[in-house]
Structure 1
Amino acid sequence: MEVLYPQCVGMDVHQETIVACALITGEDGRVESETRTFGTMTKDLFELLKWLEAKSISHVAMESTGIYWKPVYNILEGYFDMTLANAHRIKNVPGRKTDVSDAEWIAKLLRVGLIEPSFVPCEDLRELRDLCRLRKKRIGNLTAEKNRIQKYLEMSNVKLGTVATDIFGVSGRNLLEKLITKGYVDADDVDESV
């Protein structure tokens, strides 16, 4: 097969380690392979970056395993042509597999252009996605908490839902505050609040 990227690296990324396999084609056409293991702390990622630069690497590929690829991608993104691969599409042949063999397999696939890259949006869009997901989660938590409070009140025979359309609106909150401070709500108070 035609070699598209003569200086490339395949990486097997885990929670605590990154196994990187560099495949470098020499001037005589021979392929030199070097494998190193790095940690995943920031200082280790910069050590990985220096190693890749020293090897004159142009292309880097790794699997998109969980969230572990994200810090690696963030550090290396501006320096190399990064390829994020779907793990199901680059599965190695079954048998005895190791981190080293996985990294080497990824490097071999990348070298001949057999990895279909996953879409990774730009950094600004990734940050916006994270914020939107966090907001959606917080709103979901808030809704669940409101439902829990309303259920608890109903089970305690406090029928605020029949008096106020939104028990967490202004009048509903006033009623809840009076319940907390007085321990009960007069009929006159309910009429004034609604």
Structure 2
Amino acid sequence: MDLDIVVSRAAGLDVHKKIVTATVITPEMTETRSYGIVTPELLELADWMAASKITHIAVEAAGVYWKPVVNLLESYDFTAVLVITPQHIMALPQRQPDVPRSQWVASLLRSGALNNHLPPRPKRELQEVVRYRTTMAHERDREANRIQKSLEELGTLDKHIIANIFGVSGKRILQAMAHGETDPKKLATLAGPELKVPREILIPALNELVEVHRHIMLSVPLQHVAFLDLQIETLDQEIAQRLQIF
């Protein structure tokens, strides 16, 4: 079917795991080429489209294979790089069987039938950091649950202290222990008011925790939690910094 032309110089990309097929459509020509998903070939692809004076590019997104392609194209001076979902394509008039998929995507782009489903790159990068932070937090929670269960099985520590060992005060104490501090009195100074444990109970409990910490099956997980806390803190700072541009 004939489509009205809104964009005169457009390209459509059909991206797979190891190959990307691209079609450029301009008033002078329609041409299709294929490239590998490696940086030198992707640079050739981008250079070819730039030399063809392409202004708008539509990339059909399947899986995660489109990401390196789009990231590279965004570094060029194209007017727009759109990412289109297969569901969006399927909702549009279907292509002729003998027409390459990349050519059909380019034709739809020229007609103005495609909408971008890709957030701006800064937002995408922020989303990746947030997802990674969530993964780290889940790992920390799993490790913390294992440690709390082990401490409960020992039966020597006050249950209130065990319940709060990964709270604000507990995190400070565990990080100090992970850095080698073993003096219960010094560790007790790191406890905040939310712990609500008298000093005469807290210091012996921390002494017991120091002894427990020397047990390899608890010392390694405790150090792991302290490490994860620091990593999460670093990611929180990164997220806060990235949010400033929005």
TM-score by length of 2: 0.61
Distance (whole Å) between structure 2 residues aligned to residue 15 and residue 108 of structure 1: 23
Tell me, yes or no, if the aligned pair for 2:95 and 2:101 is still in contact at 8 Å.
no
- Residue 7 of structure 2 corresponds to residue 5 of structure 1: yes
Structure 2 gaps of 5+ residues are 174-201, 217-246
* 1:131 is the counterpart of 2:164: no
Displacement, 1:120? 1.7
Higher relative contact order (CA 8 A, sep 6+): 1
CA deviation profile, 1:108-135 (whole Å, cap 9, x unmatched): 11111111211422x3333222222211
Q: 1:132 to 1:175 in 2, by over 3 A?
A: farther
In the alignment, which of 23, 26, 40 is matched to residue 25 of structure 2?
A: 23
Maintained 8 Å contact 2:7/2:111: yes
Contact in 2 for aligned 1:10/1:105 (Cα 8 Å): yes
Any conservation in 2 of the 1:161–1:167 contact (CA below 8 Å)? no
Contact kept, 8 Å, 1:6 with 1:25, in 2: the verdict is: yes
1:162 paired with 2:159, answer yes
2:38 maps to a residue whose letter is M
The equivalent of 1:177 in structure 2 is: 210
- Determine which structure has the larger helix proportion and give its number: 2
Label 1:88 to 1:44 Cα distance change in 2 as closer, same or farther (>3 A). same
Q: Tell me the distance in 2 between the aligned counterparts of 1:182 and 1:3.
A: 72
Identity %: 33
Root-mean-square deviation (CA, aligned residues, Å) is 2.8
Q: 1:174 to 1:93 in 2, by over 3 A?
A: farther
Distance 2:206 2:77 in 1: 54
In structure 2, what is the equivalent of residue 190 of structure 1? Answer: none
Supply the distance in 2 between the matched residues of 1:70 and 1:182 (Cα, whole angstroms): 45
Alignment CA distance shift 1:104-1:178 (3 Å): same
Q: Mapping of 1:27-66 within 5 angstroms?
A: 32-66=29-63
CA distance in 1, matches of 2:106, 2:100: 10
SS at match of 2:26: strand
Match of 2:188? none
**How many residues of Structure 1 are paired with residues of Structure 2 in the alignment?**
174
Could you tell me how far apart the structure 1 residues matched to 2:9 and 2:102 are?
14
Structure number with higher strand proportion? 1
Preserved contact between residue 22 and residue 35 of structure 1 (Cα < 8 Å): yes
Cα distance in 1 for partners of 2:165, 2:117 equals 46
C-alpha separation in 2, matches of 1:63 and 1:159: 60
Q: TM-score, normalised by structure 1?
A: 0.76
Cα distance in structure 2, aligned partners of 1:152 and 1:105? 60
Deviation track 1:4-44 (CA, whole Å, cap 9, x = no partner) reads 12221110112211110111223xxxxx3211111111212
Per-residue deviation, 1:159: 6.1
